[in-house]
Amino acid sequence: MDKPHVINIIMVGYHPWQIFADQGFRTRMGHLIETMSRTHQVGKLMYVYPAEQSAPTRGGQPVLADRGWEVYQPFPRVWAVNFRPGFPSEQEAPVLVGQLARKLGFSSPVLWLSTPLATHYIDRVGENLVVFDAVDNWLEHVQFRGFKEQIAKGYQTIREKAHIIFTVSPGLAKAFQGCRGKVHWLPNGVDVDFFQQCAAQPLPPDVKGLRRPLLGYVGVMEDRLDVALLGYLANHMPKATLVMVGPVHGSIRKALERHPNIRCLGFRHYREIPRYVNGFNVCLIPHLVSALTESMDPLKLYEYLALGKPVVSTWVAGARRMAGLIYLARTPKEFYASILEALKEPSYKKSNRMQAARSWGWQQRVNQILACLAGEEIGQLPEHTGEKPRHNLCGVI
C-alpha cells in the first residue's frame, strides 16, 4: 500500500504563539494548527509571527536562537518562530524563515498565509504552493484603518500569486472571483468532544447566583456588536440576565454596564468557555449587519450548537446558513420574540443541534484542506442549513 503524501507547512499568522499558550487554541488558525499537529498527513508545521509585531515567548527553552530571533517546539512536529524587537522584518525575516525551514528538514513546504500583510513571504521560503486563508475582510476592520493601503495591496498580490484560497464565507469567495488560484469555501468548525467534556464540569461561580434566564454571548465585544439591540433586550427582559463573556473594547463597556442586568465578565481562557455556554438558557449572536459581518462565519455559533443550545442571531451571513437550526431576527422586536420562543422550545431540538455539530469537526475541515492541497475535488461539506449553499467547497469561483 502506498504511503499517504506528507505535507510540510510554513504558516504565517497574525498574533504571537504566546496567545495560544495564554488563551487556548480558540481562533480558526489556532484550531487548524492544533488539529494539523495530530494529523499524520502533515509532516512538519512551522508557525511564524510577523517580525514587525514581535512579542516575547514565555516558558520553555528555544531549540534554536540568535540575537534577533528564537525557535520553540511546543509540539513534537510543530515549531514556532519568534522575532525579537528590532529585527528587520520585510527584508530579512522571510529569508531567515526559509533558512530555518531547510535546517529543520521542511522539504517543498506549503506557504500558508493567514494575513494579507504577510505577502512578502511569497517566493522567499522555498515553497512549492501558496495558500491564503481568508478570515474576515480586513479592509472593514476598524483596528486596521491605518493599514488599508497595505491590506489592499496584499489582497491584490494574493489574487495574482496564491494557488489556493480558502474563505470562511460565500461573500469572501465572491470577493476573490477572477483570481489566479482556486477558491474554496471552507466554513469554520468545532471540537465537539472538547466542548462537551469541558461543559460537564461545574458551572462557573460568577454565574451561579445570577437571575435566570441567562442570555449569553461569548466573544470579543467591539464595533460589530449591536449595543442598541442588547440595551433593548435588557429593558424588555428586566428579570433576565445578559451574560457577556470576553474582552470589551472602547466605549462599549460603559454602554452595556448602564443596564443593571447586563454583566460583562471579561476574558476567560478557552477551556472555561464551554462551562459558561452550558449554563446559558439561550445563546446570542447580536451582531450588526455590515460589510464586515457579511464576510464572517462566527465560530461561537458552532460552539453554541455543539452543546445543543438554542441560538438567536441577527441576520448575519454565517447565521443565515443555519436557519433550520437557530432563530433568526431582523429587528429588535423579532429578536426579543425569538428569545421567548427559544425559552419554550421542545427538548428534541437540542439533540438535533448536537448531532448536526458532529459534521463540523475541525478534523473534517483539515481533511478537506489536505484533499484540496493534494489537488482533489472533494465536493461540498455536509452542512445542516436552511439556506442553500451558494458555492461548493472546492468549486472554482
Band of pLDDT at residue 88, cut at 50, 70 and 90: low
Instruction: Using DSSP bridges, classify how beta strands 241-245 and 262-266 pair: parallel, antiparallel or unpaired.
Output: parallel
Q: Which residue has the higher pLDDT, 14 or 366?
A: 366
- Cα Rg, the chain, nearest whole Å: 21
Band of pLDDT at residue 52, cut at 50, 70 and 90: low
Res 154 pLDDT > 60: yes
Band of pLDDT at residue 57, cut at 50, 70 and 90: low
- Find the mean pLDDT for residues 70-76: 93
Q: What is the DSSP letter of 169?
A: S
Q: In this predicted model, what pLDDT tens digit does every residue of 137-152 receive, in sequence order?
A: 766 666 666 677 888 8
Q: Tell me, what's the pLDDT at 359?
A: 93
| Domains of the chain by start residue, with CATH | 7-185 (3.40.50.2000), 192-356 (3.40.50.2000)
Q: Tell me, what's the pLDDT at 200?
A: 94
Band of pLDDT at residue 290, cut at 50, 70 and 90: confident
253: three-class secondary structure by DSSP: helix
Q: Which of 76-85, 273-282, 299-308 has the lowest mean pLDDT?
A: 76-85
Grid cell digits, residue 198: 469541558
Cα(198)–Cα(190) distance, rounded to whole angstroms? 13
- Hunting for cell 449553499 — which residue is that? 389
Q: What are phi and psi of 366, to 5 degrees?
A: -65, -40
Grid cell digits, residue 74: 511546543
Q: What is the DSSP letter of 221?
A: B
What pTM was estimated for this model as a whole? 0.90
